[in-house]
Structure 1
Amino acid sequence: MQSLFQILMLVLDIVWFFIIAHVIMSWLINFQVLNLNQQFVAQIWYGLNRILEPIYAPVRRVLPNMQGIDLAPLVVLVAVYALRIILVNNASVFY
């Protein structure tokens, strides 16, 4: 059962990394540090969007329209962190 706990924590860490990378990359694209006309940048950007959009979409439906500010990544990061706390506090179930 300890293996299941470690796998769940690994998955949450990967999701956390993807969200942070997506947020930083969106800032760099908006401030024109990165250019989507470069094939490598575009592939990474569209790959991250395809991975994270199924996670963001339900959150965006619940959140009110903020006129250009997307709070879905923040809400998902808080949810991932909350799941980590729940898993760590209940780790005795996995041992």
Structure 2
Amino acid sequence: MIALIQTIVLALDIYWWIIIASAIFSWLYAFNVVNSRNQFVDSVSNMLFRLTEPALRPIRRFLPDLGGIDISPIILLLILFFLRQFLLTTVAPLVV
């Protein structure tokens, strides 16, 4: 059972970094640092969007409009941090 918890924690950690990469990439894309017409850049953008949008969309529905500032990745990172800490401090000691 501890292996399952460690695998879930690892998946949460990987998704954490995917969300950070998506946020950084969106800034680079918005400020024209990366070439938006490049096929590789477009495929990376599409991959990051498809990985993060299903989790970010429900959060964006509840957040008020902040005038171009999107804090939904921060909210999602806080949720992931809570889940990770919950698994490590509450669930894992019960299994051992």
TM bin (shorter chain):
over 0.9
Residue 24 of structure 1 and its aligned partner are, at CA, apart by: 0.9
Distance 1:94 1:33 in 2: 48
Mapping of residues 63-82 of structure 1, within 5 Å: 63-82=63-82
- TM-score normalised over the length of structure 2: 0.93
RMSD: 1.0
Mapping of residues 7-46 of structure 1, within 5 Å: 7-46=7-46
The list of structure 1 runs, each at least 4 consecutive aligned residues, that deviate by more than 4 angstroms after superposition, is: none
Cα deviation, 1:68-90, whole Å, max 9, x if unaligned, reads 11111010011111111111112
Does residue 60 of the first structure (1) align with residue 60 of the second (2)? yes
- Structure 1 residue runs without a partner (length 5+): none
- TM-score normalised over the length of structure 1: 0.94
What count of residue pairs does the alignment treat as equivalent? 95
